[in-house]
Amino acid sequence: MSHHYIPDEWKIIEDNFDPADNRASESIFSLGNGKMGQRGNFEEDFSGDTLQGHYLAGIYYPDKTKVGWWKNGYPEYFAKILNAPNWIGIHVQAEGIPLDLAKIPVTNFRRILDMKKGILERSFIAHFPGDKKIKITTTRFLSMADDETGAVKYTLHPLNKPVTLKLTPYLDADVQNEESNYGEKFWEEEKQSITDGTGIILVKTKKLNFRVSTGITCLFEVNGKRTVPATEWKVQPKYIEKEYTVRAGKGDTVTVYKYAAILSSLYYDPKELIRSTRRKLKEAENAGYDHMLTSHCRAWDALWQEKDFMIGGDLPAQQGIRFNIFQLHQTYTGKDERLNIGPKGFTGEKYGGSTYWDTEAFAFPFYLYSGRREIARNLLLYRYRHLPKAIENAKKLGFTGGAALYPMVTMNGEECHNEWEITFEEIHRNGAIAYAIYKYTGYTGRYDYLFDYGLEVLIALSRFWSQRVNFSVPKQKYVILGVTGPNEYENNVNNNWYTNYIARWTLLYTMESIEEIKQTAPEKWKTLKQKIHFSEEEPVRWKKITENIYFPEDREKGIFLQQEGYLDKEQLTIDQIDPSNLPLNQHWSWDRILRSCFIKQADVLQGLYFFEDHFDPDTLERNFTFYEPRTVHESSLSPCVHSILASRTGNPEKAYTLYLRTSRLDLDDYNKEVAEGLHITSMAGTWLALVEGFAGLKIRNRNLYLAPSIPSHWDFYKFQIRFHNHTFIFLINHKEITVDHYGDSGLTIYIYQQEYMVPPKEKIRVPVK
């Protein structure tokens, strides 16, 4: 764990430059606007360790699978979000010497991510030979007001001597992914267009033929006055640049404004891309940098008005949650149902930028609770649109009759993960998709999605579970064999408790939903039944399975067993491990990990978190007390679940410790891997640790329940949610809970199990227990 960044309520501040930390800082200082993202790379050259990264939502490449032993059912490719053309670059020379922070000494280095405004700022003094000192300041943003544009303001200020400067803004499409399986470059150039002061490169991806048009235009100022460079654009294959040379005196200010427009064939006719890119660039140039920045900041201000989570009296905790919320909204805005949330978002290449079960299990509730329901609905529609592919995926593995197995990793609905223990065995992912449908229906109080789309998905999932179980004669129970649960430090186990439980629950919820549509919308049911060739015999088998499925448990200890045979392992706890061995996945062999009792992330406890109301408090506490000390939290998804359960089992100190870990997982680099990118989907879990943990928010029978607690050293916390089209703002301190209601009609909520009618546009106060 490191403490590299200065605590601040609204900013992430780095006040020194260490090249060894550069990749990690590039991840931390990433920017995005939902449609694209840019790692915190320098504009000027840097020959040290760096991961140059600019990524576009929905644009990917099917990189051919690379495995040592091919198995039937393996996907043919691993989808990868592409490192897109580099638009931020500016070569800088002083007296012919390149500015390269790996070679030129710098002082007074300071880098700031202003989360309130969504801008990245940097300043430093570069010490060139001949004792020439130049102060450099940069500001960059990807516009939230116009999500196809970005801008850079790059300023040089000679401090002590005149200097000849050569500035060369450029656009480089000759880029590749560091994690390319075969070292292949994925872009082919189609056309360059240099006209009317703009430079544009149109590229397409190999195989899938996505097209991306990236354009730049640059303006130069000396001491605030516009100047026009004498040079023309220079072109090379996949590359264009424009040079500007100026003799700057001591105290002069030289500024480059660089505007970019990035458009893709996801949203434009390929034939119109270059023309539309040029139009966007001209709009940006005419608007000017200051106007663009103002519009961008206003868009962020509007977001923060709804999404902010305030914590009084704990600066690291406050900084942590705002950083998490900031990155979540940079990654996904909910405007396009074709898009989803990759575990690294736009901050790195690991996991390929693809969709995992993380979305439904962790990210979905954040967007559901904190924003317009259409945003969460689009995440559900993403999966509905992929249902035919999920059925095809199941068919490849031998399932029939419209059974669906959603992919563990996907861009377009096809499975593209190529580790057998994940691809074939981590089937609990189906359950998370069913659970998201359940959460949406209960939280919004609406059946429209369930009846129009969700029930079709639920039936396909239930058909899968019905075939995936088999009847064990010795046990006289239905069992599920050969699986990997959420704890990926176990593979190919039998009767993973969480998998069995969520399979059973999915069958029950599907049958309940069928009865609901029969009563409420019989014509819709008739249409769906015909579409999917549904037989009334199917629920008969489902019911039989739900009544007789096997759940491993240890009655003496009063716990559910993670899987059969779990207690055969040597039972140790984390405090018995030499700290130098952590993280285990970076120090132990895979064989040793698999034979150990240690748990990567919540497994049994994931099920208890989802279905807490199915169990009594003693059962929750016994299982939490047993499993948490064996959990190494080496998945970013782990601390948040444990923090919530610690809150709910009366362990506030543990809840706070785990909250701080999940909220600052990347800022403090707990797992020593932030250089690979941020943990975007787990950031939603940070918000859940506060709202479902400390605030105790639950939905029961489509009613809103709270049971707030507050860490002893906090002064207060405050947050906003939308529930059934009602907006509530909750303020909790050590004395009382204040509920501000902005709905047009009264609504009943429950606080500490007590019923309260909150009138429209009024507030109530309730003492904290």
Number of C-beta neighbours around residue 30 at 10 A: 28
Place of tokens 């570069």: 126
- The one-letter code for the residue type at 50 is T
Please tell me the distance from the alpha carbon of residue 352 to that of residue 331, in angstroms, as a whole number: 14
Please tell me the distance from the alpha carbon of residue 547 to that of residue 34, in angstroms, as a whole number: 45
Nearest to 663 by CA among 321, 316, 327, 365: 321
Strands 60-64 and 54-56: unpaired
Residues 6+ apart with CB under 8 A from 538: 459, 462, 463, 466
**Annotated catalytic, 628?**
no
Catalytic residue among 43, 148, 414, 488: 488
Nearest to 275 by CA among 191, 204, 335, 218: 191
Provide the 8-state DSSP code for 469.
-
Q: Are 351 and 58 in contact (CB under 8 A)?
A: no
Detail the DSSP E strand segments found in 476-606.
477-479, 553-554, 559-560
The region, left, alpha or beta by phi > 0 then psi within -120 to 50, assigned to residue 526 is alpha
Q: Are 476 and 550 in contact (CB under 8 A)?
A: no
Please tell me the distance from the alpha carbon of residue 447 to that of residue 459, in angstroms, as a whole number: 16
CA distances from 339 to 123, 213, 266, 331, 357 (A): 35, 19, 11, 10, 14
Provide the 8-state DSSP code for 408.
S
Q: Are 14 and 5 in contact (CB under 8 A)?
A: yes
Alpha helices, DSSP H, located in 10-98: 22-28
Provide the 8-state DSSP code for 215.
E
Q: Which residues are marked as active site?
A: 488
